[in-house]
Structure 1
Amino acid sequence: MNSRYEIIIYWSEADGCFIAEAPELAGCMADGATYSEALSHAQIVIDEWLETAHKLKRSIPVPRGRLMFA
């Protein structure tokens, strides 16, 4: 699994589940009934996103790493 990308997880009242987004990878998101399930699903989706981008010879963003605040 590729866990170098930032993952943002939040509760969605409208969906009734946790949503996990990888903002550096356009459209890459997953959900889960629990926080850890959403994280696990997001890691799978990130791997699939990267695999698909590689097969289609699309540009793959370099992970930004830790955000620094001034």
Structure 2
Amino acid sequence: MSNNYDHYTMVIQWSEEDNAYIVTVPELPGCITHGSTYEEAVSQGRDAIESWIDARRASGRTIPAPGSRVLVVQ
């Protein structure tokens, strides 16, 4: 199976409360992580997507297809 990890949408938002960038992946329920810098958040997001998909694949469950990519800058 091909590696489509980079085709999933990462939503990255700064959280004053957490003093970190929070990363969510809308196509993958419960796939969430964070980073203290934007770059770290992107890296952690990629790792979270890979781990989420690997765990889902290992359990024999369906893996949602990547959605469309949207960039929102705030």
Normalised to the residue count of structure 2, the TM-score between the two structures is: 0.84
Partners of 1:27 and 1:14 in 2: CA distance? 20
State the TM-score, normalizing by the size of structure 1.
0.88
- How well do the aligned residues superpose, as a CA RMSD in angstroms? 1.3
Show structure 1 runs of 4+ deviating over 2 A.
Answer: none
Q: Distance in 2 between matches of 1:19 and 1:48?
A: 17
Do the aligned partners of 2:8 and 2:69 also contact (CA within 8 Å) in 1?
no
Counterpart code for 2:22: I
In structure 2, the gaps of 5 or more residues are none
Secondary structure in 1 matching 2:68: coil
Alignment of 1:36-47 (within 5 A): 36-47=39-50
Identity %, equivalent residues: 37
Equivalenced residues, count: 67
Query: Structure 1 unaligned runs (5+)?
Result: none
